[in-house]
Chains A and B, each alone.
Chain A
Amino acid sequence: MIVVKVGGSVLKKPEDFLYTARRIREKWVELNEIPIIVVSAMKGVTDELISASLGSMELLESVEQRYMEVADELGSRKLADRVRNEINRVREALKKPCNGILRSYVVSLGERLSRIAMTQALEAEGVRAFEVDATDVIVTNSVPDDAIIEYNITARKLLELIDLSTRLKAAPVIEGFVGADLNGLVTTLGRGSSDYTATTIASILGTTAYLVTEVPGIMTADPAVVPSARPVEILSYEEAHEAACLGVKGMNPKAIEPLMMFNSSSVIIGTWDFWGTKITSRKVKGPKILCHKGSAISIVGHGVNSHEFALKLLRSLEKLSIKVASMEFNELKPLLKLSAKLEEETKEILARLYDKLFSEVS
């Protein structure tokens, strides 16, 4: 069994649900693999719901319209009825601005609707699938909008779910980003945390999680700054964690935590056609990611936190006429940070440093 997380970036248009279902069928179901599918809200929906929770009711209409278009695309009256029911309940909740658990309930609407729509899209593609309400399986603490998953209780519920899925020979479809505390009150796991749901499930089950997105993987640098940036092939858990903490696109620090804790799964990130990055327990030496914020430059990779690497780096920087104000690393983290005086255009300097790093220094 594997876990497939379908991100909002690949659920932009009504037809994306059927397309995703077809790709899931072709890649896994036809090979007799039953995937556990974790879905996000359609692109932009969570932002609209957050605004709606603050009083912009017209944005709720926009969410309704987007999912009704999915129902039209699927030709499903059943989906249309359920979208209407869910929207009506949220509309009731939004009669006044809301916070706490109520806000969690409202902003998680997109994931709930995606779960219903994706299940029906899979059925339309001939895949046996069934809905799983995340509040029945993902147990969290009681922090309404940045909850932490309680692994022990969640694991017991997950094992029951897997047993059911195996017996039914059907793929469970669960919404990401959502859980419930021990009293059954809905919580959300923080922005961008559908990955956290997926990696938690994969870690508990000791299996692989595929994170489907619109980019080919975690990039070695920001392609807008470094044109030669490419997806990092292999990242260790620790490297992924450092990259996530630095705010590298496509990574959420919470999603890495279960991987480090259970030390049993891999995460594969990419598009349907190119899976560029694998996060695993394996540690491969060398710089993996270069990122910057102003004059602060960070390099992630096992071995970059050594004197030997630092010396090589300083020599490279000298050749590039980059003056280093400070450098910081310690043996516990695969990370080296430096502060540099960037006299030329930042973009150009970083691109040159990147080329040095990913060729000479490593």
Chain B
Amino acid sequence: MLNERKIAVIGFGSIGRTFVRLLTAKSHYIKKLAELRVVAVADSKGMVLKPSGFSDYELIKLCELPLSGLRSLPESLDLDIDLLYSEVQPDIHVELTPANYETGEPGLSNIVNAINNHAHVVTANKAPLALRFSELMDLARKNEVKIGFRSTVMGGTPLIDMLLSIRSYSVESIHGILNATTNFMLTEMHEKLIPMEEALRRAQAIGIAETDPRLDLDGWDSAAKIVILSNVVRREIKLQNVIREPLKVELSDIAECLRNNNVIKYVAALEPDGKAYVKPMKLSRRDPLAGVDGTLNAVRIGTTIGEITLVGKGGGRIETAHNVLDDVIGVML
């Protein structure tokens, strides 16, 4: 069939399942553009393959398994990406594994492998791009495939698209609130005067923060995002060169801010001199970033011809899933 595309979904946690559910919900619309068939789904413990493609109902039922539960299915196999590629030859590789900022693995190897197998890549995993942005882009160009990554930064707002659409601008600086978890926590602390650990507990309980919140609180997530944005605007920086100050805010700091009409925000920035950092900053209430609360994200782009500010949703699971799907649609058209 013309425009038939086979997809492999690698990583089947909350985002992976939301993406698959969305794919089934939108399959009617997508069919007008191309025939998409999910031929492989893999989680950390196993994988299931179906060369003819899983039906929408089969996909929905996979989403109802316990986390890391693919292995419980009788037809499942041990996770083996090489075997996956030899058995089902996907055209589009959707990488939704968790980020590992030390090695980039398993996402980095998965993406390299996919590109070398001439599959387009759509990733919501930031780590491989934060660590090897230009290498991966070069490899993709060489293999004539695309990498979609619009869900990696401000997933609920078309920031990456906007940046790619202003290529003639020279971007001098970027300042942003790029992490929804820490912004939610800081907003709770300011509004309810609760300690940071209590704000974290709330964020975890309602599914905003991960059980292991260190990637958010130590600034890795925001740092990775500022690296990706910088690379998109051709201001290449390395993740290891981003100065990270972990989020550590006491109630006394919040009280002081209230007295002085300031707010504390966890800001990620790229300065005109190339310095990049992530740190808690006291902002005046008049600062456009100061009023960005809860799970909202914002970014202020300083260019040679003016400033652009974008406020919108960060990457919750639904927004991320939508962006991943839009990237999939983008690469197959």
Interface residues of A (CB under 8 A from B): 77-78, 81-82, 85, 89-90, 92-93, 95-96, 98, 100-102, 105-106, 116, 119, 128, 130-131, 136, 160-161, 163-164, 167-168, 170, 183-186
Contacts and interface: CB of A to CB of B under 8 A. Distances in A.
Interface string B205-237: 110000100000000000000000000000000
A167 B27 CA distance: 10
Interface string B63-106: 11111010010000000000000000000000000000000000
Nearest to A182: B313
A167 B55 CA distance: 11
Interface residues of B, number: 29
Contacts of A128: 57
B262 interface: no
Nearest to B65: A78
Residue among A81, A93, A170, A184 with max Cβ neighbours from chain B (10 Å) = A184
22 contacts: A78-B65, A78-B72, A81-B66, A81-B69, A82-B66, A85-B67, A89-B205, A90-B205, A92-B201, A92-B211, A93-B204, A95-B201, A96-B201, A100-B202, A102-B202, A102-B205, A102-B206, A106-B205, A116-B64, A164-B25, A168-B24, A185-B295
A183 B295 contact: yes
A102 B69 CA distance: 27
A98 B65 CA distance: 29
B35 interface: no
A286 to B, nearest CB: 47
Q: Mostly helix, strand, loop or mixed at chain B's interface? A: helix
Given A78-B69, A102-B206, A119-B64, A96 B198 contact: yes
Contacts of B206: 101-102, 105, 185-186
Contacts of A81: 66, 69
A125 to B, nearest CB: 16
B205 A131 contact: no
Contact of B60 (A92, A168, A186): A168
Q: Mostly helix, strand, loop or mixed at chain A's interface? A: helix
B136 interface: no
B318 interface: yes
Contacts of B28: 163, 167
A116 B69 CA distance: 15
A77 B65 CA distance: 10
Contact of B201 (A78, A93, A164): A93
A136 B318 contact: yes
B48 to A, nearest CB: 15
B295 A170 contact: no
Contacts of A78: 64-66, 69, 72
A130 B205 contact: no
A184 B64 contact: no
Nearest to B295: A183
Interface string B2-34: 000000000000000000010011011000000
B53 interface: no
Contacts of B202: 98, 100-102
B64 A130 contact: yes
A170 B66 contact: no
Residue among B27, B57, B211, B313 with max Cβ neighbours from chain A (10 Å) = B57
A105 B205 contact: yes
A184 B57 contact: no
A184 B14 CA distance: 14
Contact of A92 (B61, B204, B294): B204
Given A163-B28, A186-B206, A130 B294 contact: no
B316 interface: yes
A168 B205 contact: no
A251 to B, nearest CB: 31
A98 B205 contact: yes
A262 B105 CA distance: 53
B326 interface: no
A184 B24 contact: no
B71 to A, nearest CB: 12
Contacts of A95: 201
A100 B61 CA distance: 32
A350 B60 CA distance: 55
B30 to A, nearest CB: 12
Contacts of B56: 164, 167-168
A240 to B, nearest CB: 34
Contact of B57 (A77, A161, A170): A170
A98 B60 CA distance: 33
Nearest to A93: B205
Contacts of B295: 183-185
Nearest to B180: A183
Interface in B40-67: 56-57, 60-61, 63-67
A171 to B, nearest CB: 12
Interface string B301-313: 0000000000001
Given A85-B66, A85-B67, A164-B25, A183 B294 contact: yes
B66 A168 contact: no
Contacts of A82: 66
Contacts of B72: 77-78
A184 B57 CA distance: 25
B61 A130 contact: yes
Residue among B21, B65, B66, B295 with max Cβ neighbours from chain A (10 Å) = B66
Nearest to B202: A102
A164 B24 contact: yes
B57 A130 contact: yes
Contacts of B64: 78, 116, 119, 130-131
Contacts of A131: 63-64
Residue among B61, B198, B204 with max Cβ neighbours from chain A (10 Å) = B61
